[in-house]
Amino acid sequence: MTEPYVLETRNLVKEFKGFVAVNDVNLKIQKGHIHALIGPNGAGKTTVFNLLTKFLIPTRGQILYRGEDITPLKSAAIARKGMVRSFQISAVFPHMTALENIRVALQTFEGNSFSFWKSGNCLNKLNERCMELLAAVGLAEFANTTTVELAYGRKRALELATTLAMEPEILLLDEPTQGMGSEDVDRVVELVQTAAQGRTVLMVEHT
């Protein structure tokens, strides 16, 4: 039987030296939907996000992914299972081009870091996939631009493309519009909708 929820938390609690930052949270994330965790500053959104992505260990409670208890697993293990966190500036190499960044992400994901040994045909396929991913986030014309030269919003789009290279089943976005002007915000909304095609998205946003 298929699980009704792709991601679920049961009575999730996080205490910091007795201070309860997250109190008994029961999330139910439906497959194929875009969910947002919203609330004022200090409500505990970032802490929940860090618990889900295994950057923090819960004090109590359980996290289930596709019905499997992933509470004891580490970030890398859940990423391999298809639960991937995006929008981490550090994920992008500033002095490489947009295309090279995507290629590194793809090679890392495929475990092909030494694919320069492989046939030209294989490399062409890799480059084609890179261009598809760049096009998906509206960066095709910036393929050969050094990342450091990209505008802020476009760097975020590149980060999203490097995340999509990992073929996530569920994508976790931490404040995807943070620090952006209204023009970029519209673009990110579109990007999230594009990224959500065929997958589940959970994002954290301020009210």
Ligand X SMILES: Nc1ncnc2c1ncn2[C@@H]1O[C@H](COP(=O)(O)OP(=O)(O)OP(=O)(O)O)[C@@H](O)[C@H]1O
Strands (E), 45-82: 60-65, 68-69
Spatial distance between the Cα atoms of 83 and 6, rounded to a whole number of angstroms: 10
Q: What angle, 0 to 180 degrees and rounded to 10, lies between the N-to-C axes of helices 120-136 and 98-110?
A: 110
Shortest distance, position 19 Cβ to ligand X, whole Å: 6
Draw the binding track, 1-20, toward ligand X (x: CB under 6 A; -: no contact).
---------------x--x-
Q: Check binding of 177 to ligand X (CB under 6 A).
A: no
For ligand X, the closer CB: 16 or 152:
16
Spatial distance between the Cα atoms of 202 and 43, rounded to a whole number of angstroms: 17
Q: Check binding of 43 to ligand X (CB under 6 A).
A: yes
Q: Check binding of 172 to ligand X (CB under 6 A).
A: no
Q: Check binding of 36 to ligand X (CB under 6 A).
A: no
Beta-carbon contacts of residue 71 (< 8 Å; ≥ 6 apart): 58, 61, 62, 63
Q: Check binding of 61 to ligand X (CB under 6 A).
A: no
Cβ 16 vs Cβ 34: under 8 Å: no
Q: Check binding of 85 to ligand X (CB under 6 A).
A: no
Draw the binding track, 187-206, toward ligand X (x: CB under 6 A; -: no contact).
-------------------x
Segment near ligand X (CB under 6 A), from 24-32, 44-52, 98-106, 148-156? 44-52
Spatial distance between the Cα atoms of 197 and 190, rounded to a whole number of angstroms: 11
Residues in contact with ligand X by the rule CB under 6 A: 16, 19, 21, 39, 41-47, 206
